[in-house]
Amino acid sequence: MSESRGTRAWRWLREHAVNIVAALVVVYLLLPIAVILLFSFNNPQGRYNYTWVGFTLDHWAHAFSRPELNEALVTSLKLALLATAVSTIVGTMMALALVRHKFRGRRLANFLIVIPMATPEVVMGAALLSFFLIIGTFSLGFETLLIAHVMFCISFVVVVVRSRLIGFDRSLEEAARDLGADPFETFRLVTLPLIMPGIFGAAMLAFALSIDDFVISNFNSGTTVTFPLYIYGASQRGIPVEVNVIAMILFSVTVAAMGFATWQQRRAEKMASVRPEQEEAPMMPMPGTAAAQ
C-alpha cells in the first residue's frame, strides 16, 4: 500500500521541522550582518545611510578617509589589546588558584568573580563613574576606560580558563616532576602549553568584549572616543558609510582569528591528546557555554 503524496509531504515536514526552524533562526541571526555588508556598498545622497540608493565601491576604496573615525578605531584597538593582556594574565592566575588549590575564602573568591557577570552593565558603569568622580584621582579618559575594561573582562577570563583546567590530566605534571623538573619548569614546559588554547580563547573573548563595549565606556570615557562611542556620537548626525566598511573589516579579521584558534586548538589536542575521551570543544569559548559548565 503506498502513502498518498499529502501524507508523505506531511511526514517529511514533521521529520525535518526542527531543521527548518533552525535554518530560519540562522537566517535571522545573519540578517543584520547581511544588511551591514549591503549598506557598506550604499551610495547615500544625504548624511543618513538608512535607505538603499545605489551601489558604489567608493567607501571601500576610501575606508580610512575619516581621521576622527581612524583615531577612534586606533584608541579602541590599543584599549582592547592592553585590557586583554592585563585581564588574561590576572584572570589566568585566579583560575589556577581556584582549580588547583584549596584555601580559606575560596567561596568568597568565586562569588567575587560571578557577581560582576550578574550585574547589568549600566549599574557597573554608573558605580565606576561615581567612584571616579568622588575620589578624583583619575581623570576620565583612556586610563579610566582601561581600568573599567580590565574589570569586566577578568571574570570571563577566569570562567573560560577554569573550564579548561578542570579537564586537565594532572598525571602529565606528575610525570614531569618524576623526570626531575622543578615546579616552575613543570609549569612552563607542561602545564602552560596544555592550557594555552584555553588562555588564547579567553584572550579572544576579552578582546571581543573590550572592543565592542559601549555602555560602560559611555559612562567612563570623558572626552576619549572609542569605535562604539564614535558610532554613538555619529548616529545623531548620520553615520558615515565607512563605519559599515570598517565593521565588516573587523568582522573578517575576527573570523580569521577564530579560524586560527580552532586550528591551533585541534592541533594542540591532537598533539597532547589530554582529553582523549572528549569530543572536540566548541570553536570558541563564549560566556554562555563556560558558565554552564
Partner 1 sequence: MRRRIVPYFLLGPGTIWLVVFFVIPLYYMAKLSLESGVVGSLEFNWHWANYSEALSAYDTQFVRSFYYAGAATLLALLISYPLAYAIAFKAGRWRNLMLFAVVAPFFTTYLIRTIAWETILSDESPVTEFLHTIGLAPSGHILATGPAVIAGLTYNFLPFMILPIYASLERIDVRLIEAAKDLYSSAGQAFWRVTLPLSAPGIVAGTLLTFIPAAGDYVNAQFLGGAGNRMIGNVIQSLYLSQADYPSAAALSFVLMALIMIAVVVYIRFAGSEALMGEEAR
Residues 56-95 that bind partner 1 (CB under 8 A): 90-91, 93-94
Give the other-Cβ count within 10 Å of 290's Cβ: 22
Q: Are 242 and 56 in contact (CB under 8 A)?
A: no
Task: Provide CB contacts within 8 A for 194, sequence distance 6+.
Answer: 168, 172, 268, 272, 274
Residues 1-40 that bind partner 1 (CB under 8 A): 18-19, 21-22, 25-26, 28-33, 35-36, 39
Closest distance of CB 76 from partner 1, Å: 9
Choose, by CB under 8 A, the member of 145, 243, 245, 268 that binds partner 1.
Answer: 243
Closest distance of CB 32 from partner 1, Å: 4
Q: Are 55 and 238 in contact (CB under 8 A)?
A: no
Q: Which is nearer to partner 1, 138 or 181 (CB)?
A: 138
DSSP string, 214-270: -HHHHHH-TT---HHHHHHHHHHH---HHHHHHHHHHHHHHHHHHHHHHHHHHHHHH
Q: Are 75 and 142 in contact (CB under 8 A)?
A: yes
Give the other-Cβ count within 10 Å of 167's Cβ: 14
Q: Which is nearer to partner 1, 5 or 185 (CB)?
A: 185
Task: Provide CB contacts within 8 A for 109, sequence distance 6+.
Answer: 94, 97, 98
Q: Segment near partner 1 (CB under 8 A), from 57-65, 169-177, 193-201, 279-287?
A: 279-287
Q: Does 116 bind partner 1 (CB under 8 A)?
A: yes
Q: Segment near partner 1 (CB under 8 A), from 59-67, 128-136, 172-180, 192-200?
A: 128-136
Helix locations, 118-240, DSSP H: 121-135, 142-166, 171-178, 183-186, 192-212, 215-220, 227-237
Give the other-Cβ count within 10 Å of 248's Cβ: 18
Closest distance of CB 83 from partner 1, Å: 11
Choose, by CB under 8 A, the member of 77, 81, 82, 247 that binds partner 1.
Answer: 247
Closest distance of CB 293 from partner 1, Å: 6
Q: Which is nearer to partner 1, 134 or 179 (CB)?
A: 134
Q: Does 41 bind partner 1 (CB under 8 A)?
A: no
Residues 172-191 that bind partner 1 (CB under 8 A): none
Q: Which is nearer to partner 1, 2 or 141 (CB)?
A: 141
